[in-house]
Amino acid sequence: MLQRPERAGDLYSGACVFPGGVVEDGDRSAYKYCEGIDDQTASARLGINEHGLSYFVASIRECFEEAGLLFAYGPNGRWVDVDGLDSVTFASLRHRLRTGETKLAEACRNLKLRLAIDHLAYYSHWLTPPGLPKRFDTRFFLTIAPAGQTVMPDGQEAVSYYWLSPAVALARAVEFKLRPATIYTLKSLARFSTAAACFQNALELRDIEMKMPRRARGSGGPRTLIPGDAAYAEVARLDPEGRGDVVCEIEYDRAVHLSQRVMRLTVPNGNVMTGPGTNTYLVGGGGSNEWAVIDPGPEMASHVERILAVAPGPIRSIFVTHTHRDHSPAAALLKTLTGAEVLGQPALTNEWPNSAFQPDRVLFHGDRIAIGDAATLRVIHTPGHASNHLCYLLEEEKTLFTGDHVMQGSSVVITPPDGNMQAYFSSLRALLQEDLEWLAPGHGHLMDEVHRVLHKNIEHRLMRERKVVAMIEELGPSDIEALLSRVYDDVPERMHPMARRSLLAHLEKLMSDGYMIEEDGFFRLA
């Protein structure tokens, strides 16, 4: 990593960065000196129509100018012998390239060099956040340093350098003033134990998607979010211009206006099961200014008071996704205070504390309910987490209020007998047939890329199911306690009581599918 000089007004002043710079028109003249990839192949790799090879050439040129590493083959087809170039020629070449007095193509012609394009792997594509006065559209490449060469900072763009492992660099992130894209890249590199393994993985990457950070506001001040952060999609939706004023943290009972039709309040009940707290949604508006509440939450008078305080108009309906105690008990108090109709499905078992919940109107799959003249909710029955679980689709915005069917940041606990893993798989797959753009979960922020989220949930459950089968193949007939620590070895031990419920649900599904048999509390393959 190279350390940039301290410069007033430079966003990267004093920061440690990877070598790099701007693609120049003159880089195209070096195409005929490139080894291994032509422009058509390079452009396809980068997902552009033409001149993709310029990015490869520019990365080699900039790394030579800033770090003194020359990714080129000499006349003998081997790495260029930098030591064979006299120091005057070497220093002069770097200086003249940096000042634009010569082009890389001219140097290749004079020194009979071939640029080692085949030694570079396209790794990632980043675009700096909207709203900044100066932005960068940047491609990153990964490579292994050429044998026999030594880094020599140019003293202008780079004043010093560090050779260190990704883990050490991340540990010094504050000291090194690492930018979000750099941190993200180092974390991705840290997965590999050797440079060779990392490089081979990069060579095989295809269809690389552009990543664009987003500016937001957190409790500690300005924040930069990257794709994958919990609030990223929501911030992008609420602040497409990049003002940077959207709060990216869940704050209890703060009204978040997700659209003209939707507001969110979060109950102050965050814990190991509810994550950042249970979300209550208000849906409605329009000319009639009528509103519905989805999941009023636990029996907490202060939260109900807050719902009433922020509702822009009269509350006519109270929808409940399911009757677990963090979602439905407040419906009774809210109904008393508003006279609103309560809608949902009653509990089918006495397993949960709010099994006494009785809606004024029982909803069924496919029901459509108008909320004034602004919104329409369609009922989708999604058993799995609970047998009476319902999701509500806001048809005007293609937004699905998911309750606990899909949560952000964690998998859903399936607790038999009311919870059923077979039904959960079926419900997830059924949602893949719906035209959805947003998920509004019962816990967490808005989520986009709905099909990717659903497929990820399905694959996570299949992964766990495969581990169950693999452990029984390895151990032989096993009881649930013997399987728990092995199947959930990637889950903190404090979470094992909850994981035990889902493990039982997986075992019941495997038995229902005919893959497994239980005898005296021990499970074996059929």
Could you report the per-residue pLDDT of 290-325, keeping only the tens digit for each?
Answer: 999 999 999 999 999 999 999 999 999 999 999 999
pLDDT score of 500 more than 70: yes
Nearest-10 Cα torsion for 303, 305, 308, 311: -40
The span from the CA of 290 to the CA of 312, in Å, is 8
* Domains and their CATH numbers in the chain: 2-211 (3.90.79.10), 213-249 (no CATH), 250-448 (3.60.15.10), 458-525 (1.10.10.10)
- The answer to whether 116 touches 34, Cβ cutoff 8 Å, is no
Quote the pLDDT of residue 90. 74
pLDDT of 85: 64
Q: Tokens in use for 19?
A: 């070598």
Residue-wise pLDDT tens digits, 265-280: 999 999 888 889 999 9
Q: Identify the bridge partners of residue 283 per DSSP, sorted by sequence position.
A: 262, 292
Mean pLDDT of 235-241: 97
pLDDT score at 98: 87
* Residues whose CB falls within 8 Å of the CB of residue 310, separated by 6 or more in sequence, listed in order: 255, 263, 265, 282
Q: Kindly state the tokens that stand for 364.
A: 């069924």
Segment 407-431 mean pLDDT: 94
What is the DSSP track for 380-434?
EE--SSSTT-EEEEETTTTEEEEETSS-SSSPPP--TTTS-HHHHHHHHHHHTTS
pLDDT value for 351: 61
Residue 381 CA to residue 391 CA, distance in Å, equals 6
3-state secondary structure of 207: coil
Give the separation between CA 338 and CA 166, rounded to whole angstroms.
57
Chain-wide mean pLDDT for the chain? 93
Write the DSSP string, 240-255: TT----SB-S--TT--
Tell me, what's the pLDDT at 211? 96
Total residue length of the chain: 526
pLDDT of residue 194: 94
What's the confidence (pLDDT) of residue 202? 96
CA distances from 10 to 3, 14, 67 (A): 13, 9, 20
| pLDDT of the residue at 95 | 86
Measured CA to CA, the distance from residue 48 to residue 267 in angstroms comes to: 47
Average pLDDT over residues 101-125: 94
Tokens of 141: 């490449």
* Residue closest to 171 by CA, chosen among 10, 16, 2: 16
| Measured CA distances, 284 to 247, 266, 380, 397 (Å) | 23, 18, 19, 12
pLDDT value of position 516: 94
For residue 145, the Cα-to-chain-centroid distance in whole angstroms is 31
- Name residue 11's amino acid: L
User: For 170-206, how does the pLDDT look when each residue is reduced to its tens digit (9 = 90+)?
Assistant: 999 999 999 989 999 999 999 999 999 999 999 999 9
Amino acid present at 334: L
pLDDT grade, residue 354 (50/70/90)? low
Place of tokens 């004034």: 372
Q: Place 99 in a pLDDT band, splitting at 50, 70 and 90.
A: confident
CA distances, 390 to each of 74, 200, 319, 346, 520 (Å): 67, 46, 9, 11, 36
Residues contacting residue 465 through CB under 8 Å, at least 6 positions apart: 506, 509, 510
Name which of 180, 262, 187 is nearest 213 in CA terms: 180
What percentage of the chain has pLDDT greater than the value 90?
Answer: 84
334 vs 347, residue with greater confidence: 334
Local confidence band at 80 (pLDDT 50, 70, 90 cut-offs): confident
If you compute the radius of gyration of the chain from its CA atoms, what whole number of angstroms results? 29
Nearest to 68 by CA among 196, 157, 137, 136: 157
Give every CB contact of residue 9 below 8 A, 6+ residues apart in sequence. Answer: none
Task: Determine the average pLDDT of the residues in 39-51.
Answer: 96
> Global pTM?
0.89
